[in-house]
Amino acid sequence: MTRYKIGTFLKYLFLTIAAFVSVFPLLWMFISATNSSIDVLGGRLLPGSHLVTNFQNLTARANIPQAMWNSFRNAAVSTIASLIVCSVAGYGFEIYHDRGKDLLMRILLLSMMIPFAAIMIPLFMMVGNFNLLSTTTAFVLPSVATGFLIFLFRQSARYFPYELIEASRLDGLSELGIFIRMYVPVMRSTYATAAIITFMAGWNSYLWPLIIMQNADSRTMPLVLSNLIAGYVTDYGLLMLAVSISVLPTIAIFLLLQKSFAEGIIASAR
């Protein structure tokens, strides 16, 4: 019995330490956002009264509303576009599958093996040639269609009852009508998962906007954050406030939709 108790104690101790380590840096970040740089460096762990000052200093140094809007617009457009394109394709590959389409699907899946670093130079040249530098279009184009999302929607179409499609055909619905009126409403959870993955990827994207967003007004939050650490003197209160602002939306999504979030992550590896 004592051995069992020690074991249980160690279990809780292990989990508590791990949970504390996981949460602490974020907690520290939020607390530091309300403190002056001197207090942050002094190791202060209590909320302070510098939130407003930090906010004023931050907005004087960087156009945060613009960067937030850029990040949001890019992520939202990319999410809507890829959900439409990839769900249509995934449905098509499954419902109308034949040899040719199966082969094409297998080829498309190979695209998932291509690391971004390997294609960023040609992509940058293409975007430059089309005069699309610093635009949402340039941000979105390479991520509208991904092998992974098409695969995700094809898998979900596999569980869609074929009888429903045939019944709808007899009722005179067009093929596109069947997709929109039958498939889309049933597959809401797949859409939610796909939306979370795509939105998060767009919101957090760093390397691609770093290359293409050359105009100051087009910079997204990660780029603005990264710029704030350049220079010799760092105002840690200001910096942590900026990071907190950029992290809040994704933490909110995470806490509200944890289940879809976890499903999205697991699905992303299959």
Partner 1 sequence: MAKPTSLKLHTKQNIVGWAFVIPASILIFTFFFYPIGKAFLLSFQTGFGANAQYAGLVNYKRLLSDNTFKTSLVNVLTFLVLQVPVMLLLALALAYTLNDHKLKFRALFRTALFLPCATSLVSYSIVFRSLFALDGFMNALLLNLNVIQSPINWLANPWTAKLVIMLALTWRWTGYNMIFFLSALQNIDRSIFEAAIIDGANGFNRFFKITIPMLKPIILLTAIMSTNGTLQLFDETVNITNGGPTNATLSISQYIYRLSFQYSPRFPYAAAMSFVVFVLVGILSAMQMRVGDKR
Is residue 61 close enough to count as binding partner 1 by CB under 8 A? Answer: no
**Minimum distance from CB of 206 to partner 1 (Å)?**
5
Q: Which stretch binds partner 1 (CB under 8 A): 50-58, 61-69, 89-97, 187-195?
A: 89-97
Is residue 233 close enough to count as binding partner 1 by CB under 8 A? Answer: no
Is residue 167 close enough to count as binding partner 1 by CB under 8 A? Answer: no
Q: Which of 189, 182, 223 is nearest to 206 (CA)?
A: 223
**Minimum distance from CB of 144 to partner 1 (Å)?**
5
Contacts 24+ apart (CB under 8 A), 137-140: 138/212, 139/74, 139/77, 139/78, 139/202, 139/205, 139/208, 139/209, 139/212, 139/213, 140/74, 140/77, 140/78, 140/81
Is residue 56 close enough to count as binding partner 1 by CB under 8 A? Answer: no
Is residue 104 close enough to count as binding partner 1 by CB under 8 A? Answer: yes
Among 46, 96, 188, 232, binds partner 1 (CB under 8 A): 96
Q: Which stretch binds partner 1 (CB under 8 A): 53-61, 62-70, 180-188, 261-269?
A: 261-269
Is residue 124 close enough to count as binding partner 1 by CB under 8 A? Answer: yes
**Minimum distance from CB of 60 to partner 1 (Å)?**
19
Among 1, 2, 5, 21, binds partner 1 (CB under 8 A): 21
Is residue 75 close enough to count as binding partner 1 by CB under 8 A? Answer: no
Is residue 77 close enough to count as binding partner 1 by CB under 8 A? Answer: no
Among 51, 64, 77, 120, binds partner 1 (CB under 8 A): 120
Is residue 122 close enough to count as binding partner 1 by CB under 8 A? Answer: yes
In our burial notation (b when 16+ CB lie closer than 10 A, e otherwise), range 164-196 reads ebeebeeeebeeeebbeebbbeebeebbbbbbb
Binding to partner 1 (CB under 8 A): which residues in 181-200? none
CA dist 124 and 120 (Å) reads: 6
Q: Which of 129, 115, 118, 149 is nearest to 212 (CA)?
A: 129
